[in-house]
């Protein structure tokens, strides 16, 4: 049935039929935001979801009118639900999931989707469980209304799946879909149905979100990453210097994180962030499969390593066999 809906929605450009079709394919996108800023992955999710049907977006939190207004202007967005409640302030998955569940029971969306970020991965399966639906997570390609491709084995295999879940709960990998335009939309803003929050099993205490002033890893056009080869936390400053020169974000391999050179949120790879910048510069990174999984959709990969047999060179567009402690300062000077 969903396949048919998808077919109609996409092969028919006649407005009347389109509307009849879309009435049956409603998609809810969960907006991700920090309280005062919309997380860009929401735009990637909206764009991916626009291929599945008419888009509604849920903005949940406290004092979120600004975010809702921003979302309403996003191209393709038809409706924005605001769920403003003290319990949603810190966007804990238990409470967000309950809000989504209430909304879903009332509106029976065909799809409930989000970006494949911590937020989306946390919330979506919890809701899906309430509807006896198996989610499809980390989608990188949409083939039809029920058929998707997702990477498995750290990106070493691509798996095409067809879901027969009664309701479709999906997360989209941000780097695999272009962001929706932030203007051109004219979504109607309305209040989400009231939700009861009797659950009190969890309580937010604090958060620590270091601000670097550098671009965010997942949206950066250029990323400079360091690995164990950098040698120490102190030596990592040449990575920051090179990044500053290129207005780049800083990343790291798991080895560098484990060695304590940088903190965890900079980790790029299967279990860290998946990135796809225009230029990825891997410095002192050998290129374990788990790291490669997170970078292989980058446009250009540059590797600087003194070991010519390092696996990173097998996928790098430009390789430089050199001591990074000499090459990186030289590179900073030359740029």
Known binding residues for FAD: 228, 253-254, 267-271, 284-291, 305
3-state secondary structure of 335: coil
Exactly one of 53, 61, 151, 227 binds another protein (CB under 8 A); that residue is 151
For the bound state, the minimum distance from the C-beta of residue 15 to another protein, rounded and expressed in Å, comes to: 33
Give CA–CA dist 230/328, Å, rounded.
10
Residue 191: strand pairing partners:
82
Binding mask 250-269 for another protein (x = CB under 8 A): ----x---------xx----
Give CA–CA dist 194/24, Å, rounded.
24
Looking at beta carbons only, is 21 or 270 nearer to another protein? 270
For the bound state, the minimum distance from the C-beta of residue 114 to another protein, rounded and expressed in Å, comes to: 12
Number of residues in the chain: 335
For 40, 108, 241, 242, the CA distances from 245, given in Å and listed in that order, are 24, 50, 6, 5
Contacting residues for 132 by C-beta, under 8 A, at least 6 apart: 166
For the bound state, the minimum distance from the C-beta of residue 187 to another protein, rounded and expressed in Å, comes to: 25
**By CB under 8 A, residue 197 contacts another protein:** no
**By CB under 8 A, residue 290 contacts another protein:** yes
For 50, 156, 168, 290, the CA distances from 125, given in Å and listed in that order, are 21, 24, 11, 24
For the bound state, the minimum distance from the C-beta of residue 185 to another protein, rounded and expressed in Å, comes to: 25
**By CB under 8 A, residue 189 contacts another protein:** no
**By CB under 8 A, residue 122 contacts another protein:** yes
Exactly one of 22, 189, 259, 315 binds another protein (CB under 8 A); that residue is 315
**By CB under 8 A, residue 154 contacts another protein:** yes
Give CA–CA dist 17/108, Å, rounded.
21
Contacting residues for 166 by C-beta, under 8 A, at least 6 apart: 131, 132, 133
Site for another protein in 61-120 (CB under 8 A): 90, 92-94, 97, 117-119
Binding mask 17-36 for another protein (x = CB under 8 A): --------------------
Exactly one of 44, 137, 225, 253 binds another protein (CB under 8 A); that residue is 137
**By CB under 8 A, residue 126 contacts another protein:** yes
Exactly one of 57, 138, 225, 249 binds another protein (CB under 8 A); that residue is 138
* Residue entry with tokens 């590797």: 303
What is the gyration radius of the CA atoms in the chain, in angstroms? 22
**By CB under 8 A, residue 330 contacts another protein:** yes
Cβ atoms 75, 184 nearer than 8 A: yes
**By CB under 8 A, residue 279 contacts another protein:** yes
Looking at beta carbons only, is 213 or 308 nearer to another protein? 308
Residue list, annotated binding site: 228, 253-254, 267-271, 284-291, 305
Query: Angle CA(105)–CA(7)–CA(80) in degrees, nearest 5?
Result: 40
Give CA–CA dist 250/144, Å, rounded.
36
- Max distance between CA atoms of the chain, in angstroms, equals 65
Exactly one of 196, 203, 234, 309 binds another protein (CB under 8 A); that residue is 203
Site for another protein in 157-186 (CB under 8 A): 157-165
Exactly one of 29, 58, 112, 316 binds another protein (CB under 8 A); that residue is 316
């Amino acid at each position: 049935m969903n396949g048919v809906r998808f077919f109609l929605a996409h092969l028919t450009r006649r407005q009347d039929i389109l509307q009849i079709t879309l009435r049956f394919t409603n998609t809810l996108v969960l907006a991700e935001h920090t309280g005062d800023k919309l997380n860009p992955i929401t735009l990637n999710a909206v764009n991916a979801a626009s291929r599945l049907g008419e888009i509604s977006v849920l903005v949940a939190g406290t004092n979120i009118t600004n975010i809702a207004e921003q979302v309403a202007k996003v191209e393709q967005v038809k409706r924005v639900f605001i769920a403003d409640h003290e319990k949603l302030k810190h966007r804990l998955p238990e409470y967000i999931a309950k809000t989504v569940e209430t909304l879903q029971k009332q509106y029976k969306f065909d799809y409930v989707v989000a970006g494949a970020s911590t937020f989306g991965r946390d919330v979506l399966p919890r809701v899906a469980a309430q509807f006896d639906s198996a989610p499809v997570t980390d989608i990188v390609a949409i083939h039809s209304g029920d058929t998707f491709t997702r990477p498995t084995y750290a990106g070493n295999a691509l798996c095409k799946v067809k879901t027969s879940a009664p309701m479709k709960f999906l997360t989209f990998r941000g780097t695999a879909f272009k962001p929706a335009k932030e203007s051109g939309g004219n979504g109607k803003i309305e209040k989400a149905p009231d939700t009861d929050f009797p659950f009190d099993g969890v309580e937010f205490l604090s958060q620590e979100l270091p601000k670097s002033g550098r671009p965010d890893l997942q949206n950066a056009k250029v990323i400079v990453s360091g690995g164990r080869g950098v040698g120490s936390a102190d030596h990592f400053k040449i990575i920051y210097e090179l990044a500053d020169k290129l207005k780049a974000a800083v990343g790291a391999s798991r080895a560098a994180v484990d060695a304590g050179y940088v903190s965890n949120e900079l980790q790029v790879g299967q279990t860290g962030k998946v990135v796809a910048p225009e230029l990825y510069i891997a410095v002192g990174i050998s290129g374990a499969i788990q790291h490669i999984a997170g970078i292989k959709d980058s446009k250009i990969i540059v590797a600087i390593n003194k070991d010519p047999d390092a696996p990173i060179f097998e996928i790098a567009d430009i390789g430089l066999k050199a001591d990074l402690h000499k090459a990186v300062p030289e590179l900073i000077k030359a740029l």
